[in-house]
Structure 1
Amino acid sequence: MTERTVFDPADPLGLDDLLTDDDRAIRATVREWAADRVLPHVAGWYERGELPGARELARELGALGALGMSLTGYGCAGASAVQYGLACLELEAADSGIRSLVSVQGSLAMYAIHRFGSEEQKRRWLPPMAAGETIGCFGLTEPDHGSDPANMRTAARRDGTDWVLDGRKMWITNGSIAGVAVVWAGTEDGIRGFLVPTDTPGFSAPEIHHKLSLRASVTSELVLDGVRLPADAALPEARGLRGPLSCLSHARYGIVWGAMGAARACFETALDYARTREQFGRPIGGFQLTQAKLADMALELHKGILLAHHLGRRMDAGRIRPEQISFGKLNNVREAIDICRTARTVLGANGISLEYPVMRHATNLESVLTYEGTVEMHQLVLGKALTGIDAFR
């Protein structure tokens, strides 16, 4: 038996064979950063419901090349989709809130500007955003319209050559620390995207408190009260829902990977605990029912990572479809929650303690399950793709 065929509990399917040396180097760099800058502090952040030093963390992530890392030019790293996914996995293995900061910055705000913005908009905003010097947020969800953005109430009207925006957005990651907000609003010509500097009069972003999930993350409401913008604040290439939905699809891809990071952290915690925790005179990992839980968790974890790899290769080849990303988001987040819950049972009462990451990840994933498309919405996306029948209405 050669070294390559030895069974590795950390990589039972040998998925590392799918990675290049560059892939592994990027993964190691992000993992080391998270271990140094997030893991020693995140339990306290979560308990207090804060993300202190978020702007400094963003600058550090920018220095790593993790912000907008799969975009090209304008100071972006130009990494592959798989490399971006590996970064998301490592960040969410630390905490979903950190991965959300990166996803919203790169896959929503920066992606919207990169894909739909003018050359002037790209040159103004993308380099400082890639460096983490300017933080972005993405305003689509509204208090009364989450899964139905076509009926958003936020409106933009013409006043001479200017635009004037009024409305509210809800559950906006990075909102109160952002320097620019990508805001989607209804106009007489349909839904448009606007770049709103957050120091514009009439714009405010009160932070949302009393969350029981994603507590180590900045979540805000956006309030637009007569926000006046010049004509060139509109994203010229975005018309209709195609703009925001394509951004969401890009961000959901990162979630496919990220959810497996949270699941991995919980599985590894449960596996280590089962090897060392003794009951009835031996480690609980020696009991059949515990081994059954560990085996099932390992199956779903590594199947999910394999699915993420497959979707990443399709994205890198330019062959990914939104329905396939829905497939990955639906499966991986749902399975990740189940892995976290099962890990909690292995740890028993210790599973609810912040001395271990399990309950923190489980509660975070309750948000990940429903943001950027609920379970039901992704089921209907796949249902329509499978049957050819639209069941959304």
Structure 2
Amino acid sequence: MTATSQLSGLAAEWHTARLLFPIYSALAREFVIDLPACSDLEAGVEAPPQESVELAKQWLREVDERIQVHQLRQFLQTTPLTTQEVLQTILVHHLQKEKRSASDRDKIDFLLVQFFSHCAPSGLDDGDVDLEYVAQVLEPALGAVDSVLPPWLKPLEQLMQSAKHCRRLSELLHSGILEQGRKLKVQCGDKYFLPAAMVAFTRFSFMILMHADLNAILDGLRDLERHGVSTLDCRRAQFSAEEPVARLRMICQSWKVMFHAEYSSGQPLRMLVDLRAAVDDALAKNGVGKTPATASAASKVARAATASAGPAAQPNRNSAASASTVPEFEVASNSQEWNAHEDDSSPQQSPGDDNDG
């Protein structure tokens, strides 16, 4: 390595560290995580010596070890600090690690889907989300990727086809497809980190929720509001006995991204299934027509936002609509664990809630 290229590498590493420092610091404050000191990062030094860059890299390694997957997910889905640049920087930071743990894999899995959801337009048909398109969206983070599915990932495509035959999420929930997808990802071992594999798993997790249920719930909530219904008894779905309809509607508008990143966990999907049942019951009780979950709607992404906290470069798609700017909201849950495969931590909570569920 020449002196010039080494300098360029140090500058890039310092740029990454400076970008991640306020993000990680804010996350640590939210979850009361004790972080080591890094004086040059705290001071915002523009051109530090090599020793400071090495200390910053060590600081990032220590912080990565202390941040759990569920904390990273919850923070990035609620903070206004999340931008395309931030998501891409954190993702590339984890991808460039020489040794990756199971926790790193789960973080990368989440970040890939979050980055894709942030960049992709909201009006996608399921036919648009092929491997080539997903690879195109992820190219800023992964580089150019061959869009041909590796032969050893054929079972993932079979799971995708099986999922398409599930007309409702309740069928998907009880089909075992989600568990099989998770098992396959774990069985891949280090091969998961091959770019083609990461593209394939991102597509699987994004496509898994292109069903009509969210549209049906949103349409039902709008119908109820038009008929003067302001609260619903949603205890079966881990909400309150008098949950405001307006809040449920905002939650549904954010659930798309949240569930994309948690496709391997049954609990949040069960909540969605139960919420639809509660809405259907309320519609019947109030004499309102059934929610229009048509067959054509099943092939659409829910009109809710997939995730767009700001302008993002979007790959060319003639059928793509402009990205939605609906903000995300978190869900207060009394469920025991939303991601049992990750850790023993508490589930996500709504802003302003005092408990973790």
Specify the TM-score bucket, using the shorter chain as the normaliser. Answer: under 0.3
Normalising by the residue count of structure 2, what TM-score does the alignment of the two structures yield? 0.25
Flag the structure with more relative contact order, 1 or 2, with Cα contacts below 8 A and sequence separation at least 6: 2
Q: Write 1 or 2 for the structure with the bigger share of strand.
A: 1
Normalising by the residue count of structure 1, what TM-score does the alignment of the two structures yield? 0.24
